[in-house]
């Protein structure tokens, strides 16, 4: 921790501080003495998050550290038994109109946020007013990391999280001295709430597909890692239905161990309802330092990475798209690849054991497409909707069955047991 100013007098001379009266000035000095000024380089966060030195220059921010300070309580007035007002709270609110954490950073460039101070008691106003709450709007899908490892998911519009409580106003229990508010190191983690997550190795054509089926304009190039940050697109249907698609940066071998910032990207797929595996039908080689992998080996490695990462990735509804069929003039490579995939797990005998995943996903559909030429992309778009609807229907049925099972077990109890269950 370090104070950024040579002296408190230097700090108080800053033009940003204004005082409406002498008493206000005294109150400001009291509050400033209660504040802690943090050097964010001393605050440690998980290694795979964006650190503070990079957070300002990154085009996409998925983790933002903040210092949240509740307002200090106002001073009491012992002569008349007056109570100071409580300090305000720092509150995070999920707002669907806020799309990125960069918008939060722009509002708080110093990554320091403090709620209002409670009003002092005086002889004309014995009960001081509560300090103003500081409400910070964040994107829907943010996880607030609180001290002591606590996490709060803000995954619905309007969800709130109190990040720092204000201090109590001066009263008879505090010798009429205002108590300073909580001073918490907070982390805002953003996980994209897209319906569909595009996963695949670099240069598989994910961005090209996103551009083909939506109005998104991702950067496209014939080289790996064209997409360096997640991109969002919206698929629109004739009846007005909209489905959001997230193009996640390409994975590489060892992504689950955070090679190539794999964990940073994979965690964005955790909340996707379905996964769309994008696979280039041609062999893949990241660079001359890496061995060349066949398309089938690439698919198996991708499955292994999702399996090792966990979080139910292989349990999600999924579709497989074999891309770049325009490069296969006689369709031979595509047919051979399709046969290997459809004959899983028997076809695992055709590759070395190191490529064998412990589990295999069940693909709801398999398509051969050319995202560049637009071949079969509309059919894939319709399939995504169908799988989405099936997923929603199964979820509703499961919830209804669970509710009915609970009601049935309650009906089976005799009156005495029902009373006991209610009392418990």
Q: CB of 380 within 8 A of CB of 364?
A: no
Element (H, E) at 387: helix 377-411
pTM here is 0.65
Enumerate the CATH 2.70.210.12 domain ranges in the chain, comma separated: 18-190
Average confidence score pLDDT of the chain: 79
Decide if pLDDT at 166 tops 70.
yes
- Could you tell me whether strands 242-247 and 196-199 are parallel, antiparallel, or unpaired per DSSP bridges? parallel
CATH architecture of the domain formed by 18-190: Distorted Sandwich (2.70)
Where residue 37 falls among pLDDT bands split at 50, 70, 90?
very low
Q: CB of 380 within 8 A of CB of 367?
A: yes
What pLDDT was estimated at residue 252?
56
Decide if pLDDT at 14 tops 70.
no
Decide if pLDDT at 273 tops 70.
yes
Enumerate the CATH 3.40.50.300 domain ranges in the chain, comma separated: 196-397
- Of the chain, the percentage scoring pLDDT greater than 70 comes to 75
The tens digit of pLDDT for each residue in 244-258 reads: 888 877 665 554 444
Euclidean distance between CA atoms 131 and 165, whole angstroms? 11
Torsion sign over Cα 364, 367, 371, 374: negative
- Of the chain, the percentage scoring pLDDT greater than 90 comes to 45
The tens digit of pLDDT for each residue in 281-301 reads: 999 887 677 788 899 999 999
> In this structure, what token pair is assigned to residue 119?
């009003």
Least confident segment among 91-100, 191-200, 342-351: 191-200
**CATH H superfamily, domain 196-397:** P-loop containing nucleotide triphosphate hydrolases (3.40.50.300)
Contacts of 340 (CB under 8 A, 6+ apart): 296, 347, 350
From 317, 313, 321, select the one nearest 358 (Cα to Cα). Answer: 313
Q: CB of 131 within 8 A of CB of 91?
A: no
- Could you tell me whether strands 183-190 and 142-145 are parallel, antiparallel, or unpaired per DSSP bridges? antiparallel
Higher pLDDT: 239 or 417? It is 239
The tens digit of pLDDT for each residue in 303-356 reads: 988 888 888 889 999 999 999 999 998 999 999 999 999 999 999 998 899 889
What pLDDT was estimated at residue 90?
97
DSSP string, 59-78: SS-SEEEEEEEPPPPPP-BT
Q: CB of 338 within 8 A of CB of 320?
A: no
What pLDDT was estimated at residue 17?
40
Tell me how far the alpha carbon of residue 280 is from its chain's centroid. 28
Euclidean distance between CA atoms 72 and 87, whole angstroms? 5
């Amino acid at each position: 921790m370090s104070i950024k100013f040579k002296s408190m007098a230097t700090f108080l001379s800053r033009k940003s501080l204004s005082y409406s009266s002498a008493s206000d000035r005294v109150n400001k000095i009291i509050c400033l003495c209660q504040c802690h000024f943090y050097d964010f380089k001393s605050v440690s966060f998980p290694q795979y998050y964006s650190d503070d030195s990079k957070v300002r220059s990154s085009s996409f921010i998925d983790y933002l550290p903040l210092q949240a300070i509740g307002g200090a309580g106002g001073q009491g007035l012992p002569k008349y038994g007056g109570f100071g007002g409580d300090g305000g709270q720092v509150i995070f609110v999920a707002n669907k109109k806020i799309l990125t954490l960069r918008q939060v950073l722009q509002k708080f460039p110093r990554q320091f946020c403090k709620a209002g101070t409670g009003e002092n008691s005086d002889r004309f106003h014995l009960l001081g007013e509560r300090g103003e709450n500081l409400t910070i709007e964040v994107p829907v899908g943010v996880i607030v990391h609180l001290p002591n490892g606590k996490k709060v998911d803000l995954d619905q519009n309007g969800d709130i999280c109190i990040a720092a409580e204000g201090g109590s106003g001066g009263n008879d229990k505090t010798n009429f001295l205002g108590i300073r508010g909580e001073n918490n190191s907070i982390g805002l983690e953003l996980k994209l709430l897209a319906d569909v997550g595009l996963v695949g190795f670099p240069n598989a054509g994910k961005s090209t597909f996103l551009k083909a089926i939506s109005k998104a304009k991702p950067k496209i190039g014939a080289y790996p890692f064209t997409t360096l940050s997640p991109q969002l697109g919206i698929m629109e249907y004739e009846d007005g239905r909209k489905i959001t698609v997230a193009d996640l940066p390409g994975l590489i071998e060892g992504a689950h161990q955070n090679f190539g910032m794999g964990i940073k990207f994979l965690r964005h797929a955790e909340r996707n309802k379905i996964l769309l595996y994008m696979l280039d039908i041609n062999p893949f080689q990241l660079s001359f330092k890496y061995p060349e992998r066949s398309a089938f080996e690439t698919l198996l490695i991708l499955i292994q990475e999702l399996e090792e990462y966990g979080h139910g990735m292989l349990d999600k509804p999924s579709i497989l798209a074999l891309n770049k069929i325009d490069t296969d003039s006689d369709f031979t490579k595509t047919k051979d690849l399709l046969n290997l995939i459809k004959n899983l797990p028997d076809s695992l005998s055709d590759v070395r054991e190191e490529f064998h995943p412990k589990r295999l996903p069940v693909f709801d559909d398999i398509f051969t497409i050319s995202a560049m030429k637009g071949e079969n992309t509309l059919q894939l778009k319709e399939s995504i909707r169908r799988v989405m609807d099936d997923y929603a229907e199964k979820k509703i049925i499961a919830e209804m069955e669970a509710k009915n099972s609970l009601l049935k077990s309650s009906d089976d109890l005799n009156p005495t047991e029902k009373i006991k269950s209610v009392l418990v």
